[in-house]
Amino acid sequence: MKSFLFSRKIYAQLALCSVITLLTIWGCKKQELVSFSTDLSLNAHIVKIADSAATTRIQVYADETWEVAAKSNDWLKLDKTTGTGKSEFLATVTSNKGQLPRAVEIYVKAKGKTDTVFIQQRGLTPTVNIVDANMNAVAGAGKMKTILTTNVPFNLIKKELVYKTAGQDNWIGDVNFDGTYMLINVAASASAEPRETLLRLSYLDAMGTTVKDSILITQSPVGEYQNAVLKDFAYVKSLAAGVVNEDVYIEGIVLVDKGNPNTALNPNSASNKHVIDKTENGITVYVQSLDGKSGLRLRMATPGDHIFSKNEKVKLWLKNTTITKTANPVTTTISNVPSLNVMEKVDSPTPLVARELYMKDLVDNDVYTYVKLKDVEISVSNGSYYNINEGYEFRVDCYPTNIRDINGNSMYMMTNGGVPYRRNGTQVPQGSGTISGVIVYETMARYGGNIGKYAIRQMAQEDIKLNNDRSQGFSNVLVEWDRFRSELQTGATLASNPLTPTIGTGKLSHSEFADLNYTAAAGIYGTNDFNALLPDPTGAKGAVTNGAFAARGLWNTAKNRGGAIIVKASTANISQQVSLQIEGFVATGAPREWTIEWSTQSNMDAGTWNPVSDFTFQDIVNWTSTLLTQVSGYKVMNFNLPMAASGQSEIYIRIKAKNRNVGSATSDVGGTFNSAVAVYFGHISLKYNK
């Protein structure tokens, strides 16, 4: 019995094992049935890559053979065209630095199915920026313009017009772009009411980012100028200052494009003296008479009312505008001019040609006309067109470049901070030639207020047609110091000449130091100028190390007279007039008022010293409290010596402090004189005509 029971127990255990075994086998087969299987799948559908050259790996899941191909392009390559089963392919892209983002589609096919992966490569951030918020069109048909800053091809930018005035649709025509200006054609309006359209620009880049901007275009109604009487420029200049009540208009030629950054002198903001207000540049227009011999300055009501292009012939209604005048020179400005007063503007059928004049031939009627100055050169032809410390670029808007001509006259060429070529790494021309531009009258407190009766504003770099080399100029350099350096050892004497000229033979000395060592304690020491060709982002932006020298102790208290920097040279073989060029400024506490005298002997307190000219040096800027009377670079001046100074075996020219009047931390006057504070010179030279 026991044996039988044992056998039944064994059989039961065997049966249980058999069931477990069957379940295990069935479970294994079940797992095999649900293993991963697909006709086609990818591990990513969007892959973003940096703008540098790179390779990315794409995983393909498929049961059988698959094919891969990219949409037509020239910047992405695939390492294969086919694969089998679970596998991968490599996509290699070239660098996209300096370009807009881009994208391409890659197609993978297997068993009649297609899947896609998008390769997106980063690049430049796209920009679409319309400078103006609004544009005011004249009632007549014409082409309007506004500056557009974009790095996107214009044909890729979406344009959308939203007509906002009821019943006034489709009056905006073609919208084009010439690389600087967006040009918009408008149809004539016969309505007595203005009409508006919003122009929207947008661009969706390859990374999925949208950039956009818009401008509101308003077209003026027909003005009430049907009975206006045409008057010439002389008549307008004869009108009294104040509001124009007469129903008159003028015809003239526009001299400057809308958006030109060098149109006018921009003041510092009334609310914050450390900020430049560029509204003046945006509203200023120069218009000359049809014969080019008389000019007017327009100040439009808003920047949006400046709708003009260079060389357009315009008719301007003057009623309800405002006339202001200056007396010396005699100039006329017409302010508060809305675009409603523009009766007509069309391209002139003849090109704008500058009248060629010498500086000595300029008269008041030439102000605000387009002129070509003949036989001119840059007086101190070092560095760039914008020799200032560019750390102050947003506080100081304009640099006046002193220019002189073959007849010995000089004036300033005005260059604003927004001019793109102001400091571009290129040395200013050192020879002579012509400079074209609009003759203006401007005062600059930073450079002493009155900078001359006339100045010139070039409208483009192409207006400056000067030869590059000095050999191609009208002048010779007698002696020049434009880079200063220490050459004396302790105890050396003046005979060793511590300031050797860069060109020619001559000597600089300090009237108050018998033994001139090149140290602060001994009166003269090295410092920087700002005639660098490029801004220095790490230092005193634009500075040239040891490009200038400083002189202190320029007042003799015992003798109650100013001290001087004395230039010694010989003019023995020169029959032409000699001129002196200097650039400099003072630190607050040093004398601001100076005089230039010459003699044939060197004794400061004996003999005859002949007057040449008085002038002022301005205080150098201070970052904490930048005054409107302070300079951020050297002031350049040109002085003609009398003919008696030519043909002399030795001449001495002293640049002498006239008095102890100095600036303060809050004003250009009223400060306390400090003999330890220096005057700084970046350049001293003597020239004569060949």
Of 470, 532, 527, 469, the C-alpha closest to 499 is 527
pLDDT single digits (tens) 230-287:
999 999 999 999 999 999 999 999 999 999 999 999 999 988 888 999 999 999 999 9
Q: Cα(193)–Cα(297) distance, rounded to whole angstroms?
A: 29
pLDDT at 31 over 90: no
Q: Each residue of 436-471: pLDDT tens digit?
A: 999 999 999 999 999 999 999 999 999 999 999 999
Question: Which pairing describes strands 564-569 and 507-510: parallel, antiparallel, or unpaired?
Answer: antiparallel
Q: Does residue 318 sit in the same domain as residue 333?
A: yes
Contacts of 482 (CB under 8 A, 6+ apart): 380, 382, 502, 547, 682, 683, 685
- pLDDT, tens digit, for every residue of 387-421? 999 889 889 999 999 999 999 999 999 999 999 99
Report whether pLDDT(11) > 50: no
Q: How many CB atoms lie within 10 A of CB 61?
A: 19
Residue 330: is its pLDDT beyond 80? yes
* SS3 per-residue string spanning 314-333: EEEECCCCEEEEEECCEEEE
Name the DSSP letter for residue 235.
H
Q: Is 657 a member of any domain?
A: yes
Q: What is the CATH number of the domain that holds 238?
A: 2.40.50
> Using CA atoms, how far apart are residues 514 and 679, in angstroms rounded to an integer?
19
Do 678 and 530 reside in the same domain of the chain? yes
211 shares its domain with 96: no
- Residues in the chain, overall count: 690
**Same-domain check for residues 609 and 515:** yes
Q: Residue 562: what residue type?
A: G
Tokens of 220: 């003026």
| Residue 669 backbone phi and psi in degrees, to 5 | -135, 170
> What CATH number did the domain enclosing 184 receive?
2.60.40.60
Residue where a domain stops, chosen among 166, 196, 219: 219
pLDDT reading at 71 higher than 70: yes
- Strands 102-110, 555-556: parallel, antiparallel or unpaired by DSSP? unpaired
Closest CA to 433 of 508, 356, 511: 356
The full DSSP string for 573-595 is T--SPEEEEEEEEE-BTB--EEE
pTM reported for the whole predicted model: 0.82
339 and 244 fall within a common domain: yes
- CATH assignment of the domain containing 66: 2.60.40.10
Please report, for the domain that includes residue 493, its CATH number: 2.60.120
Residue whose token pair is 């004996």: 606
In a domain, 374, yes or no: no
Q: Tell me, what's the pLDDT at 220?
A: 86
- Which pLDDT belongs to residue 650? 97
Contacts of 198 (CB under 8 A, 6+ apart): 161, 162, 164, 214, 215, 216, 217
Residue pair 459/437 in contact (Cβ under 8 Å)? The answer is yes
- Domain final residue pick, 219, 254, 279: 219
- Per-residue pLDDT tens digits for 595-621: 999 999 999 999 899 999 999 999 999
Q: How many angstroms separate the CA atoms of 433 and 373, rounded?
A: 9
Tell me: do 537 and 685 sit in the same domain: yes
Residue carrying structure tokens 């880079």: 483
Q: pLDDT-based confidence at 534, cuts 50/70/90?
A: confident
Same domain, 112 and 132: no
Exposure b/e, 182-206, CB count within 10 A at least 16 = b: bbbebeebebeebbebebebebebb
**How many structural domains does the chain have?**
4
- pLDDT over 70 for what percent of the chain? 91
Q: Could you read off the pLDDT of 548-575 as tens digits, one per residue?
A: 999 999 999 999 999 999 999 999 999 9
Omega before residue 642 within 30° of 0, cis: no
Q: How far apart are CA 263 and CA 581, in angstroms?
A: 28
Domain identity same for 519 and 595: yes
**Would 78 be classed as within a structural domain?**
yes
Closest CA to 114 of 148, 77, 154, 68: 68
Among 373, 353, 371, 369, CA closest to 295? 369
Query: Which tops the pLDDT comparison, 379 or 145?
Result: 379
CA angle at 43 for the pair 41 and 46, rounded to the nearest 5°: 110
Domain carrying residue 682:
475-689
Residue 1 lies in a domain: no
Chain mean position to CA 284: 18
Examine the domain organization and report whether 522 and 628 are in the same domain. yes
Q: One-letter amino acid identity for 318?
A: L
Same domain, 96 and 144: no
Taking only the tens place, the pLDDT of each residue in 619-650 is 999 999 899 999 999 999 999 999 999 999 99
CA distances from 21 to 8, 14, 33, 368 (A): 20, 10, 19, 107
| Same structural domain, 328 and 282 | yes
Per DSSP bridges, beta strands 113-121 and 102-110 are: antiparallel
Q: Of the residues 314, 347, 380, which one is the last residue of a structural domain?
A: 347
Residues 138 and 181 in one domain: yes
Whether residue 394 is contained in a domain is answered as no
Alpha-carbon gap, residue 291 to 317, rounded angstroms = 20
